[in-house]
Amino acid sequence: MAFVSLPGLIYRASTPAVRVSDRARLGWSRSAWLPRWRQSFSRSSRLEVNGGRRRSAFRNQQPNGGDGLRRVMSSASASSGTAAGAMQSPVSVSVPERRVGDVVHGFRLERDEWLPDVRSHVRLYRHQQLGTELVSVTADDENKTFGVAFRTPPSDSRGVAHILEHSVLCGSRKYPVKEPFVELLKASLNTFLNAMTFPDKTCYPVASTNVADFYNLVDVYMDAVFFPRLTPDVLAQEGHHVELDDVHGEMSFKGVVYNEMKGVYSSPESVLMTRSQQVLFPDTVYGHESGGDPGEIPDLTWEQFQQFHERFYHPSNARLWFYGDDPEDMRLGKASEFLDDYIAMRQRQGKSLTVDVSASRIPLQPRFSAPRAVEFPYDADDKGKYLATVNWMLHGTTTEVDLERMMALLVLDHLLLGTSASPLRKALIDADIGEDVLGPGLETELLQMTYSVGMKGLASAATVDRMEQIVHGTLRSLAEGALTEDLVLSSLNTVEFRLRENNTGAFPKGLALMLRSLSTWLHDDDPTKLLRFERPLQALRQRLQAGEDVFQQLIRRELLDNPHRVRVTLRPDPEMAKRMRAAERARLDALRAKMGEPELQSLVQDTQRLRAKQEAPDPPEALAKIPVLHVADLEPRVKTVPRKVIREHADVQVLWHPLATNGVVYADVGLDWSRLPADLLPFMGIYAEALLEMGTQRQDYVSLQRRIGRYTGGIRPVVYVSQQVDERGRGAVVQRLFLRGKAMVNQTGDLLQIVSEVLNEPRWDNRERLRQLVMEEKAGLEARLVTSGHVVVANRLRAQYRVSDWMSEQMGGISYLRFLRQLLQRIDSDWESVASALARVHQCVVTRQGAVVNFTTDVYDEAVKPHLNEFLSSIPAAAASMDGPADTPVGAATPLHARNEALVLPAQVNYVGKGGNLYDVGYSITGASLLAAKHLGNGYLWENVRVKGGAYGGFCRLDPRTGTFLYLSYRDPNVDKTIEVYDQAPAHLQQLSLSREEVEKAIIGVIGDMDTYQLPDVKGYSSTLRYLTGETDELRQQRREQVLSARMEDFQKLGEALEEIRKRGSVVVLGGGDAIEKSRQRLQYDEVMKFSEL
């Protein structure tokens, strides 16, 4: 709960069109230990990844490995033999021979260790003159990662740490351009490029699989943090400033972080998470908002800003991290280059070489002697409900904790909340008092660990009391003996499987390890401490086998008998937005009252000056300093994945992707649901969710979940809709329901058996359970409207142009939300029809006809072969015949309409979209079109929507499969103005003239997107999808060649096509009521929907 999970981070990491820089945390790993999928708002962050790169083809799922759905994350394995065995092999990359005490490039080797738990060689160096610590991790992983982290405790909530995080990326000594960071996004092969502010630290990580590219990124980042060009104008742009266009005009606050945090504060979940952390630490730095409270950001002064950098961005307060397969001496050489320069600079300035790092140490929060309760208002409409959490500060610190206790806490956390069958989650859901469980559970990233659980959608203050009683009551009964062995083993195996598999999805493994390491390293403790888990896990297993009541003791000591506990309630307050606006206005009015005509004049001039500065292009000679690859350095061939077709048949097709998976088997069972009648389409989403969550004829859902947890690595559903590759973007719709599972070699049979049982013996008779699932699904979607509004807008626009995208919207967009709200009522009023609809969906979906089964593994012969035939024959041969009148399959005839829409919701920011279909206006899409679109996003839209307009992001999307092109903005203060920017884009492209270097940069950026780093499970799955849609390697190669040979004419041609979108395109806006009302006249909405009335 310590960090508000800002979508910006994920957003940025996946779609290099919006500022990466962020204070965020990733949803999958809030404790830096294990993938987590439980908070609804982290689910929403993940959705952005879809929205960004893979579009609506994936519903609710991230294509690159991270599991999208909390409730299907159960996993486990007892087959420690295989996994542990695989871990013993040393890395193949050579590590130079060295002894503790040796000095290289000014760094002294302090520790040297082979760490089998993470299959890595880990060395700790210390810079002799500056004291900077450097961890060098050598591992068999081409996804090289670098990070620099500073301890940056804030002393108030003015957001200085966050604003500085943005600001150092706005130009530096060697790279004197406006945003070197953006230049890197445009023209590097990075697999990760971002920055994050935490409550106690700021991290700047980069990753790449290309060595030269990697060191380019490291170079720019090192220069940025140690030698930034901080000026009052940078603070004004990234932090806050007052804008005034003419002396009689209206003043307003502007600033990137200011607006970003307003967006964060529009999400009640984010507010709740922030408050839940702060109240546990009223006496320390953790009591402040390191991201900046919008009400306090304007108080930040230039002096404070400068001093913060001087105090904390010093090498002696820095920690450097390198990970991957690059040579160690290159790392040390690169780091020392910058540190030597730093020393020279300090000597020139006559300043001391080191600073007192004890000044940044995080103090301990004294323990409470009695529990507390606090309440905050939040901005909601009159139908808003309560949200609340119960929070504990646990005993001890991350640096003191012994690893066995840490393992036990991780298992306890999973045991209480990890799956729908977990007792605490289940008790809260079963009580039928709220819509969804939230709170991150165990948090190990702060110096003192915390635990947090709560609910949203609570009806009243009395319901909040009730929730708290349920939490305590459940914990008490568990401590008194309600913990079963079955439950404990399921969670233990899940934790073990995940730690060993270490599947970080699209997030670099090296970065996940860095964040885990920093939990102790930041506090001057052993950086490798939390990287170990094998021995403490085994010790924990033995204690459990010996009958010790480990978890009962933990529950009592850490939760039940722990008085350092705070209940946080968020109360809906329909007047709050009005009050906040009034307060902002009053503040500006007071400011104006103090100013005379000359001051006002000078403010107008300042506004114009800052704007002119932002608009002025960087001098070409400065831009040329940014180190970039050249097109000649790029791999001309597309990356292919080895695929074997084991069985090519009219019914089931079987694929095998032989990739090194360390003894894990990834199985994707894809069922063709193209026979589904149109009237059942909206049910498809909730059906997929329910399939593994309603139990089977033999087991109720609790036992089924535990069985999945104990004998597999997890199974999750993915509804896939896309279309066949076609040169007019009108290919046939491709529909599959995937059950994606994983297991260790010797558990493959168990995995396939469970899938087979789920498909053959479903049950749809549990009304209460379905109601819970619908409620949860609905709550998740509602939260996403605010946190990922641009995805909602994108889906809505796409749905106007292609049937496959229309179907996605029906199963995941606003239409789906409307359906779910009605479904909740139908479950009460007409349960029979709901149950029979689900059963009918099941009949249409479950058939061998058109099914595809994919295995990605290096142990196919041992693991899969023996079970394959039995499994395939267990899938019913043909879909049961359907009755009823509505027998038209969905894909056949669906009317699509382009129209302007607005959706009003309580929000302080807007999401503005405009789009159309390029094929439909006669344009042919090639690889070069992607290049021109990317350039438009990173250049023109970035500058105009974000830098000048004050939105958090502005970008565009072109889907080469369907031909749909979209302009989108993210957390935008404007509506009309943004549409104007979009409408001037065609002219911009047509007049554009780029040097060959600039075109080359754009080429590198697009190739970087195409070569996204993927873990084996994602490689196999993506290859399966390409197999289904006819996207051949030849086609991919052709597209790559088009990118590599792109020219200026390609930009102009896209400009011409976009001219048609300007005239004929449609607009969708999601935002606050006032903003939409103001834009109504110009945009002539065909429909204005209200969130509360959907």
Active site residue ranges:
165, 238
* Nearest approach, Cβ of residue 946 and Zn ion (Å): 12
Nearer residue to Zn ion within complex by CB, 260 or 858: 260
Q: How far apart are alpha carbons 504 and 64 in whole angstroms?
A: 10
If you ran DSSP here, which 8-state letter would residue 27 be given? Answer: G
Nearer residue to Zn ion within complex by CB, 164 or 799: 164
3-class SS shares of the chain: helix, strand, coil, % to 5: 50, 20, 35
Residue range at the interface with Zn ion (CB under 5 A); choices 14-22, 327-335, 793-801, 1031-1039? 14-22
Q: How far apart are alpha carbons 678 and 734 in whole angstroms?
A: 15
Task: State the residue for tokens 């011409």.
Answer: 1056
Helices 927-936 and 1048-1064, packing angle to 10 deg: 70
Query: Which run of H or of E encompasses 810?
Result: helix 803-812
Residue range at the interface with Zn ion (CB under 5 A); choices 254-262, 429-437, 517-525, 724-732? 254-262
**Cβ-contact 529, 405 below 8 angstroms:** no
Residue range at the interface with Zn ion (CB under 5 A); choices 258-266, 304-312, 761-769, 912-920? 258-266
Q: How far apart are alpha carbons 404 and 409 in whole angstroms?
A: 9
Amino acid at site 564:
H
Which two structure tokens, joined as six digits, stand for 971?
Answer: 């957390």
Residue range at the interface with Zn ion (CB under 5 A); choices 17-25, 45-53, 665-673, 900-908? 17-25
- Shortest Cβ contact with Zn ion: which residue? 22
Nearer residue to Zn ion within complex by CB, 223 or 238: 238
Nearer residue to Zn ion within complex by CB, 35 or 953: 953
Residues in Cβ contact with 294 at an 8 Å cutoff, skipping those fewer than 6 apart: 258, 261, 262, 265
Nearer residue to Zn ion within complex by CB, 136 or 290: 290
Which two structure tokens, joined as six digits, stand for 1037?
Answer: 């190669």
Which two structure tokens, joined as six digits, stand for 625?
Answer: 């300093």
* Nearest approach, Cβ of residue 270 and Zn ion (Å): 13
* Nearest approach, Cβ of residue 166 and Zn ion (Å): 6
Residues in Cβ contact with 549 at an 8 Å cutoff, skipping those fewer than 6 apart: none
**Cβ-contact 73, 740 below 8 angstroms:** no
Burial class (CB in 10 A: 0-12, 13-18, 19+), 211: middle
3-state secondary structure string, 271-331? HHHHHHHHCCCCCCHHHCCCCCCCCCHHHCCHHHHHHHHHHHCCHHHEEEEEEECCCHHHH
* Nearest approach, Cβ of residue 942 and Zn ion (Å): 15
> Smallest Cα–Cα separation from 38: which of 13, 69, 65?
69
Nearer residue to Zn ion within complex by CB, 197 or 562: 197
* Nearest approach, Cβ of residue 257 and Zn ion (Å): 6
* Nearest approach, Cβ of residue 1073 and Zn ion (Å): 26
* Nearest approach, Cβ of residue 951 and Zn ion (Å): 13
- What's the farthest any 2 CA atoms get from each other in the chain? 87
What is the x/- site pattern for Zn ion, positions 197-216, by CB under 5 A?
Answer: --------------------
Residue range at the interface with Zn ion (CB under 5 A); choices 255-263, 306-314, 824-832, 942-950? 255-263
Asked whether the CA dihedral 222, 448, 45, 258 is positive or negative, the reply is negative
Nearer residue to Zn ion within complex by CB, 297 or 979: 297
Query: What are the two backbone dihedrals, phi and then psi, of residue 454, each rounded to the nearest 5 degrees?
Result: -165, -170
Binding of residue 22 to Zn ion (CB under 5 A): yes
What is the x/- site pattern for Zn ion, positions 259-298, by CB under 5 A?
Answer: -x--------------------------------------
* Nearest approach, Cβ of residue 927 and Zn ion (Å): 32
Burial class (CB in 10 A: 0-12, 13-18, 19+), 884: exposed
In sequence order, the β-bridge partners of residue 910 are: 972
User: Three-state DSSP class for 689?
Assistant: helix
User: Three-state DSSP class for 744?
Assistant: strand
Neighbours of 1074 (CB within 10 A): 12
Q: Are strands 733-744 and 911-917 parallel, antiparallel or unpaired?
A: unpaired
Which two structure tokens, joined as six digits, stand for 609?
Answer: 């000056």
If you ran DSSP here, which 8-state letter would residue 941 be given? Answer: I
Residue range at the interface with Zn ion (CB under 5 A); choices 252-260, 639-647, 806-814, 871-879? 252-260
Residue range at the interface with Zn ion (CB under 5 A); choices 253-261, 582-590, 844-852, 990-998? 253-261
The CA R_g of the chain, rounded to the nearest whole Å, is 28
Nearer residue to Zn ion within complex by CB, 163 or 715: 163
Amino acid at site 830:
D
Nearer residue to Zn ion within complex by CB, 720 or 952: 952
* Nearest approach, Cβ of residue 296 and Zn ion (Å): 16
* Nearest approach, Cβ of residue 19 and Zn ion (Å): 7
Nearer residue to Zn ion within complex by CB, 243 or 260: 260
Burial class (CB in 10 A: 0-12, 13-18, 19+), 381: middle
Q: Are strands 252-254 and 241-243 parallel, antiparallel or unpaired?
A: antiparallel
Residue range at the interface with Zn ion (CB under 5 A); choices 16-24, 43-51, 622-630, 856-864? 16-24
Binding of residue 1031 to Zn ion (CB under 5 A): no
# chain residues binding Zn ion, by CB under 5 A:
2
Instruction: Tell me how far CA of residue 984 lies from CA of 624, 740, 945, 1050, 1057, in angstroms.
Output: 28, 44, 12, 18, 13
* Nearest approach, Cβ of residue 943 and Zn ion (Å): 18
Residue range at the interface with Zn ion (CB under 5 A); choices 18-26, 532-540, 548-556, 1004-1012? 18-26
> Smallest Cα–Cα separation from 1008: which of 467, 217, 220?
217
**Cβ-contact 628, 999 below 8 angstroms:** no
Q: How far apart are alpha carbons 212 and 500 in whole angstroms?
A: 30
**Cβ-contact 343, 537 below 8 angstroms:** no
* Nearest approach, Cβ of residue 981 and Zn ion (Å): 22
Nearer residue to Zn ion within complex by CB, 21 or 1066: 21
Nearer residue to Zn ion within complex by CB, 218 or 256: 256
* Nearest approach, Cβ of residue 21 and Zn ion (Å): 5
CA 410 to mean position of chain CA atoms: 22
Nearer residue to Zn ion within complex by CB, 297 or 775: 297
Which residues here bind Zn ion, judged by CB under 5 A?
Answer: 22, 260
